[in-house]
Structure 1
Amino acid sequence: MKLTANGIQIEVEDSGSEGRPVVLLIMGLGMQLIAWPADFVQSLVDAGFRVVRHDNRDIGLSEGFDEAGTGNLIWQSLRQRIGLPVRSAYSLQDMADDALGVLDALGIRRAHVLGASMGGMIAQRVAASAPERTTSLVSIMSSSGARHLPGPRADVAAALMRRPPSRTEAALVAHSLGLVRLIASPAYPQDDRVLTDRITRSLRRAYRPAGVVRQMLAIGADSGRDSLLGRISSPSLVLHGDADPLVPIACGQDTARRIPGARFVAVPGMGHDLPPQVIDILLQQIVPFLQIAERRA
């Protein structure tokens, strides 16, 4: 369903009955709400939670910002590298306000806020800017954004900048599959047929490459978030794979170090994806954490 949130149209999925404690799931760069594995969502519902997911702005079925253009991604990346401001159509704080707007539209006062990758960055901003709305924070395979932290492995960074050879469905699927393989969890490989089906489903639902670029620029422009993390007062759990080639584990460790009282859990063999075995490992940490945080709240 579409809701008006923070003044724009946001696509939302709401699972689980009203009256339950709410878990708000925020996905990462270019990823739609359907990227949350169904088993993950259902396990949270089975544990007694109401699960709300949404397409971030510019992605999936939510409102786009094509009128803003994309600018020159390579030039803006160079500006970021030398410490100059990056120009972006909107900010990660705007996206955090979108997430809070989703809660407003659904009449939800407080939620456990859980984000993956860029979604973790957005979730951190929600927790820092709206502590009264945040029952707990879970940040998965994300970063504090501090400048000294390591970036993606060289081949992964190159793949992120590479364009597909054409816009045929076959070419787009092959291009996406190549990137997914590069960042996948080495200890938990997934069948290419499963990945291909998932990518195809996502592409047929929505294909928004310019939105991905604008989200990348929003990440690059997000300076100062590391200094805000000390304001977070909600119980916080930081989960990160020790084999992540896109957002190295040092980024998760730094996030946990900066959030008062945060607990850090390293997941051996996990890369930058959510295969079924990793989902099981994450749930073993997340469900008890949410339940304890809910009781304390």
Structure 2
Amino acid sequence: MSRPNFAKANGVELAWDSFGDPGATPLVLVMGLGASMIAWDEVFCAHLAAAANVHVIRFDNRDVGLSTSMSQLGVPDVQALMMKALARQSFTTPYTLVDMANDVAGLMDTLGIARAHIVGASMGGAIGQEMAIHHADRMLSFTSIMSSTGDPSLPPPTPEALAVLFTPAPQTLEAYLPHYAKVWRVLRGPHPFPEDEARDAERGRAVFERGLNPAGTARQLAAIFASGNRKPALRNTHVPTLVIHGDADPLVPVEAGIDVSAAIPDAKLLRLPTMGHALPVSLWPAVIEGIANHTARNAPTR
């Protein structure tokens, strides 16, 4: 595990590290709900840096991993907020996905990056969408992976996926490891990925040792609910976009990826038939090739 750096950004401190040539075009990876930057596997990051000839930067979002925990903002009742969101009632949250997009822009400011390729997974894809809406001038390209516009008319998660999303993480390592394995067994979907299943114990231990922040995950989930439907705003964006989505995603069904690609003008869609709501090792080549081709088409002019 590489030693993280820390950067002030938008009033918070973000842990980050990087891969590849620091002189290459930057590519920033934005991770999803409750997941720290180590969910972007080091080998994946190194391969992406080499294949796309980019400087890959990954970081912990606020309220996860080693970045600032917003504990002073309290713990929202996410189920109550979800019901209000479904009923289209107004509510307030500790922060929004716009704030988290501003964190990414602030990180880029601190690192001296004027423009970068942005790649976001799940909630990270929604954060990338908010960047396309509010910080398009900072983006060379955008890749949205297994994400959604937030349109409430889209198909919901499967009951099993929704259940693991709302199941509190155990606070002891002994209980956490089987919990972690179950969560990812569900999220990877119906297709077997034995290489990833074999790594679950090691990955789960790394996540646990990095530190769990259930209250932070609740605040991030509240931010998702508060973001609402981004589709109308996305129709007016012009960031070159690639959408990657799995046909077997149980948490964010493939219809959501189709919706993202339809909402953003001229977006390209890459559907992977066996992919669920995860980035399994056997699909890394397809995902990396898709991103590398997309960034090459949208490389900065010298």
TM-score category, normalised to shorter length: over 0.9
- Deviation of 1:185 after TM superposition, in Å, equals 4.2
Query: How far apart are the structure 2 equivalents of 1:266 and 1:45?
Result: 22
* Residues 73-98 of structure 1: CA deviation (Å, up to 9, x unaligned): 22112112212134321000000000
1:16 maps to which of 7, 20, 45: 20
Compute the TM-score of the two structures, normalised by the length of structure 1. 0.95
Instruction: Assess if the C-alpha contact under 8 Å between 1:190 and 1:275 holds in 2.
Output: no
CA shift digits 1:164-222 (9 cap, x unpaired): 4x521111222222111111143341343311110111110121111111101100111
Question: Which 5+ residue runs of structure 2 have no aligned equivalent?
Answer: none
- Partners of 1:186 and 1:270 within 8 A in 2: no
| Alignment partner, residue 38 of structure 2 | 34
- Cross-structure match for 2:278: 273
What stretches of structure 1 move > 6 A for 4+ residues in a row? none
TM-score when normalising by structure 2: 0.94
Classify 1:23/1:236 alpha carbon distance in 2 versus 1 (closer, same or farther; 3 Å): same
Question: Following TM superposition, by how much is the alpha carbon of 1:224 offset from its aligned partner in structure 2, in angstroms?
Answer: 3.8
**Aligned mate of 2:298, from 271, 289, 293:** 293
Tell me the secondary structure at the aligned position of residue 235 of structure 2.
helix
Kept in 1, the 8 Å contact 2:49–2:56? The answer is yes
Runs of 5+ unmatched residues, structure 1: none
Question: What amino acid is aligned across from residue 284 of structure 2 in structure 1?
Answer: I
Q: CA RMSD in A?
A: 1.5
Q: Is the 8 A contact 1:92 1:222 kept in 2?
A: yes
Deviations 1:34-84 (A, max 9, x none): 110222211222131101111000000000111111122221121122121
Residues 74-223 of structure 1 correspond to what in structure 2 (within 5 A)? 74-164=79-169, 166-191=170-195, 192-223=197-228
Q: Give the Cα–Cα distance (whole angstroms) in 2 for the partners of residues 225 and 60 of structure 1.
A: 27
Deviates more, 1:97-106 or 1:220-229: 220-229
Across the two proteins, how many residue pairs are aligned to each other?
A: 296
Deviation at 1:17, TM superposition (A): 2.7
- Name which of 43, 47, 50 aligns with 1:46: 50
Structure-2 separation of matches of 1:37 and 1:73? 29
Q: Which amino acid aligns with 2:38?
A: I
Write the letter of the residue equivalent to 1:176.
Answer: Y
